[in-house]
Amino acid sequence: MDLDFSGRIAFVTGGGSGIGEACARFLAARGSPVIVADVNAEAAARVAADIGGEALTLDVGEEEQVERAIAQAWSKQGPIAVLVNSAGILQRMLPPSKLSLREWDSVARIDLRGTYVCCASLGTRMAAQGSGAIVNIASVAGMRSGPLHSYGPAKAGVISLTECLAAEWGPSGVRVNAVSPGFTRTPALTRGMASGALQETRLSGGSAMGRLVTPEEIAAAVGFLASDLASGITGVNLPVDLGYLVATPWATYGGLRQSPGRGEA
């Protein structure tokens, strides 16, 4: 019982960048043949070449494309043991008067519907074979209110979906869990900071540990939940947020105390 994924094929959506890329690398380094699925063909090919995996171009919002790609991968490479759903897009922080329904739909289509489509296609096959582990990337934004009127509800939906499918497929031996990252230094977040929409000091300062999460820290939690070490765990949502969720209410009381190491004892 360890973090050995030898011979266990993993399918990682959004595997061409950020958290998905870190998950693909983590699993491959522990023996998993990884299928790197991403809408960005070049990114998927780069990561797959690096880790000795297979690249697959795929838009998780297109159910027929997903079903076809998964059916092909399953028959060509063999049963898939692990699914990581990391494909996702962030959202502009607009009030409802400025947030078009087009943008609202596009975030929900990829982040929530796309996660469901991949779960439905692969999870059904895993359930038929009697085993499998799915890890969905949700977000702390799905656990607290924020100015993200599509992204927040979509991620809350991913957490709910994780619970529903864990109960659905538990009797068939398939575990379904979620990881909710805090602010994580990925290309998507870096773009948000470069545009001025997000400030690194605020993002870091919001967490108890005072920094950004690394994609590798998310991948380690995903790897644990996908592994046999977590054989007793299904239907949970594990925040990997450096204490963002526990630290934010302290703002009401004047903020976190200074570390004795850094300030007064």
Binding residues for ligand NAI, rule: CB under 6 A, are 13-14, 16-20, 38-40, 43, 58-61, 86-89, 110-111, 114, 137, 139, 181, 183-184, 186-189
Closest distance of CB 17 from ligand NAI, Å: 3
Using the 8-state DSSP alphabet, how is residue 214 labeled?
Answer: P
Single-letter amino acid code for the residue at 181: P
Asked about 116 being catalytic, the answer comes back as no
Q: Torsion angle of alpha carbons 55, 57, 62, 63, nearest 10°? A: -30
Q: What spatial distance separates the first Cα and last Cα of the chain, rounded to whole Å?
A: 43
Closest distance of CB 69 from ligand NAI, Å: 10
CA-CA distance, 51 to 240, in Å (whole number)? Answer: 25
Which lies closer to ligand NAI via its Cβ, residue 121 or residue 127? Answer: 121
Which lies closer to ligand NAI via its Cβ, residue 9 or residue 56? Answer: 56
Q: Which entry of 116, 151, 244, 253 is annotated as an active-site residue?
A: 151
Which lies closer to ligand NAI via its Cβ, residue 103 or residue 172? Answer: 103
Residues 72-104 as b or e (16 or more Cβ within 10 Å = b)? ebbeeeeebbbbbbbbbbbbeeeeeeebeeebb
**Which residue reads 């959506």 in tokens?**
13
Helical residues (DSSP H) of the chain, grouped into ranges: 18-29, 41-51, 63-77, 101-108, 114-129, 151-169, 187-194, 200-205, 215-226, 244-247
Which lies closer to ligand NAI via its Cβ, residue 55 or residue 127? Answer: 55
Which lies closer to ligand NAI via its Cβ, residue 163 or residue 172? Answer: 163
Closest distance of CB 87 from ligand NAI, Å: 3
Closest distance of CB 70 from ligand NAI, Å: 13
Please count the other Cβ atoms lying within 10 Å of the Cβ belonging to residue 257. Answer: 10
Closest distance of CB 100 from ligand NAI, Å: 18
Catalytic residues: 151
